[in-house]
Structure 1
Amino acid sequence: MNTALKEKILKVCDEKINQKGNNVGLSFYAFFANKNNDPESLMQVAEWWIKTHQLDHFEKAIKIKQLIETEK
């Protein structure tokens, strides 16, 4: 996954955590608009989420943030 996409994920995780606290969960769709206007990036995140890390549909934002930060 490219750096820009990782930064976007971190930003969204931070926003959600600030809004709803450390217990907030999200899916990989949270990083995209409701339109499929960037299928390549969507597939990168989906593969990272499902295939690489075998995560559930919803995961804690704090967990996703930590995974991304360890890959930087």
Structure 2
Amino acid sequence: MQESLKDKIIAVCNKKIAAKGDQVGVSFYAFFKNENDNPEVLMEVAEWWIKTHRLNHFEKAIKIKNIINGIPT
């Protein structure tokens, strides 16, 4: 996954955790606008989320950050 995308995912997770606490959940759609303006990147994240890591639709933001940072979950 692109470093810029990883940085964006971490930033979104940090923002959600700051607003709602470390038990807040996210879906991969949280990293995109409510429009499909970049389907290639959306599919890249969807594949990473669903195929590579076999994550549920909603996961804890802290878990996603840990996976991105290479910390075992």
TM-score normalised by L of structure 1: 0.96
Report the alpha carbon displacement of residue 5 of structure 1 after superposing the two structures with TM.
Answer: 0.3
Query: Structure 1 vs Structure 2: percent identity of aligned residues?
Result: 63
Greater helix share, 1 or 2? Answer: 1
The CA deviation string for residues 4-63 of structure 1, in whole angstroms up to 9 with x for no partner, is 000000000000000000000010000000000011110010000000000000000000
Taking the aligned partners of 1:39 and 1:12, their CA distance within structure 2 comes to: 19
Structure 2 regions of 5+ residues with no counterpart?
none
1:66 is matched with: 66
Taking the aligned partners of 2:46 and 2:9, their CA distance within structure 1 comes to: 12
Structure 1 regions of 5+ residues with no counterpart?
none
Which residue type is aligned with residue 39 of structure 1?
P
2:31 is matched with: 31
Q: Which fold has the larger relative contact order, with Cα–Cα distance below 8 Å and residues 6 or more apart in sequence?
A: 1
Matched, 1:42 2:42: yes
1:14 is matched with: 14
Give the root-mean-square deviation of aligned CA atoms: 1.0
TM-score normalised by L of structure 2: 0.95
Matched, 1:55 2:55: yes
